[in-house]
Amino acid sequence: MSCFICDKHNGISNQPPGGYIYEDEHWMVCHFPTEQSVLGQLLIESKRHFLDFSEMTDEEARTYGYLVKKLYSILKEITGAERVYSLVTIDGVPHFHAHFIPRMGQSATKGIKFITQEKSCEVRDATELVKKLIAKFN
Strands lying side by side in the sheet with 97-103: 22-23, 27-31, 42-46, 97-103, 83-87
Q: Quick one: pLDDT at residue 27?
A: 98
Domain count, the chain: 1
Distance CA 49, CA 26 (A): 10
Mean model confidence pLDDT for the chain: 95
Q: Quick one: pLDDT at residue 127?
A: 97
Beta bridge partners of 87: 99
Please give the average per-residue pLDDT across 61-76, as a whole number.
97
CATH number at residue 36: 3.30.428.10
As separate numbers, helices (DSSP H) first and strands (DSSP E) second, the chain gives 4, 5
Contact criterion met (CB below 8 Å) for 28 and 45: yes
Please give the average per-residue pLDDT across 75-93, as a whole number.
95
The pLDDT-based confidence of 69 (bands split at 50, 70, 90) is very high
pLDDT for 95 beyond 80:
yes
Question: DSSP character for 118?
Answer: -
Q: Quick one: pLDDT at residue 2?
A: 86
Q: How far is CA 5 from CA 15, 103, 113, 132, 137, in A?
A: 10, 25, 27, 24, 22
Please give the average per-residue pLDDT across 62-78, as a whole number.
97
pLDDT for 81 beyond 80:
yes
Domain extent, residue 103, equals 4-137
Q: Quick one: pLDDT at residue 58?
A: 98
